[in-house]
Structure 1
Amino acid sequence: MGTARERGPVAEQVEELLADGVPLPIVTAGDPVLRRGTEPFDGQLEPPLLARFAEALRVTMRAAAGVGLAAPQVGVALRIAVIEDPAPVPEEVRVARGRVPQPFRVLVNPSYEPVGTARAAFFEGCLSVPGWQAVVARHARVRLRARDEHGAAVDEVFSGWPARIVQHETDHLDGTLYLDRAELRSLSSHTAMAGRWTQPTPARAAAELGFDLPGSAGSR
């Protein structure tokens, strides 16, 4: 009879995290775990523990009204993220942003590459930077490669808002926050967002706050 595989430090960390119940606490900007990057998933969690961890990420994401959550955002430096977007937005927003519903997915060892040269800029927020949003120009289409929680290969092209979610969550796994890519002149509190910048696109914000959008005159 074979012996049980010795539990490593990552598995012990996840077990301790789950023992405290869900939703899990979300780590905020300033914590080094959000900047260190992650180690590739290579069986550090046995399938039952991986399934429990993925479910905890799902519950935590939903409780925080997010559309994605990466493992470092709960303090675990492992290359795993989850995404899901019911996209409950008005039609004009859906059309402007390409925001369409996305089912729940677990992404293991994800990476992306741009498809084409088009870029799109919209206000973006982050559960690890609560209270603020800023305009980020991102690739309009990306090719995602990953594995799912069962080990099956994922190779899919995303466009519009789903492409933005993929980039945002994969960036977390590389130690990158959305603010690293943002137009900082656009940085706005949630109060300012609700009172001023509810338009489907950030064109008005760009004009009034003084920053460029992709394709505009003087854009960098």
Structure 2
Amino acid sequence: MRSLGIVQYGAPILGEPARPFTLPDERETADTIVGQLLDAMERMRRAHDFSGKGLGVAAPQIGIGRAAAVIQPPGADPILLLNPCVTAASEAMDEKFERCQSFFDVRVPVCRPLRITVETVTPNGNAATEVYQRGEARLIAHEIDHLDGLVLLNRMRPGVTPVPVEEARKRTEATSRTWSDE
């Protein structure tokens, strides 16, 4: 992923909260950064198959400390997050192995809520609220973590360690479900 322009674990920017936009005043800056995020996603898609689980990238992962992320759920339109904030989360949780472009060779079991409510700002400066469930909720919460300066290691339970990709696949093969069921 480093060769595709993705900042890797250990880089200071991944541990720093991203700076929010003042919208609509910074719309041009936000649009430029969103374009860079979409370009990064296209580079990643050309190099790897992400069709089954979806794909996301946050601005800090491409070296930009601003509060923007783009998520591409399987079979759906991209979701743009500007200044996102989780305002509510279900008590119902599940634990799944997550991948991260900044830790590409390992998977980490992470417990996340099955439903989240997220408030964002549109490029025009209007507040928008959306509810996400299951797989989308997991993808979006992961990218919001990046914008808050958190990485997968911050979400691991005590005593848990990252698992090599092949081992994670073996552990989940027997219980694998479609993306929309996750």
TM bucket, shorter chain: 0.7 to 0.9
Q: Which has the higher contact order (CA 8 A, sep 6+)?
A: 2
Query: SS of the residue aligned with 2:42?
Result: helix
Q: Which one of 100, 104, 107 corresponds to residue 133 of structure 1?
A: 107
Look up the match of 1:32: 12
Q: Which one of 104, 108, 111 corresponds to residue 82 of structure 2?
A: 108
4+ aligned runs moved over 6 Å, structure 1: none
Query: SS of the residue aligned with 2:34?
Result: helix
Look up the match of 1:41: 21
CA deviation profile, 1:161-190 (whole Å, cap 9, x unmatched): 101111111110111002211245362111
Count of matched residue positions in the alignment of Structure 1 and Structure 2: 166
Contact 1:134 1:187 in 2 (8 A): yes
Alpha-carbon shift at residue 134 of structure 1 (Å): 1.3
Q: Is residue 192 of structure 1 aligned with residue 180 of structure 2? A: no
CA deviation profile, 1:18-41 (whole Å, cap 9, x unmatched): xxxxx9611010000000111111
Q: Is residue 169 of structure 1 aligned with residue 135 of structure 2? A: no
What is the distance in 2 between the residues matched to 1:197 and 1:163? Answer: 20
Whose radius of gyration is greater, 1 or 2? 1
Percent of pairs identical after alignment?
A: 29
RMSD of aligned C-alpha atoms? 2.5
Contact 2:23 2:124 in 1 (8 A): no
What is the distance in 2 between the residues matched to 1:119 and 1:54? Answer: 30
- Structure 1 residue runs of 5 or longer lacking an equivalent are 1-22, 87-100, 203-220
Look up the match of 1:51: 31
Q: Which one of 64, 71, 93 corresponds to residue 44 of structure 2?
A: 64
What is the distance in 2 between the residues matched to 1:124 and 1:131? Answer: 11
What is the distance in 2 between the residues matched to 1:140 and 1:195? Answer: 24
- Structure 2 residue runs of 5 or longer lacking an equivalent are 178-182
Contact 2:33 2:59 in 1 (8 A): no
Contact 1:124 1:133 in 2 (8 A): yes
Query: SS of the residue aligned with 2:91?
Result: coil
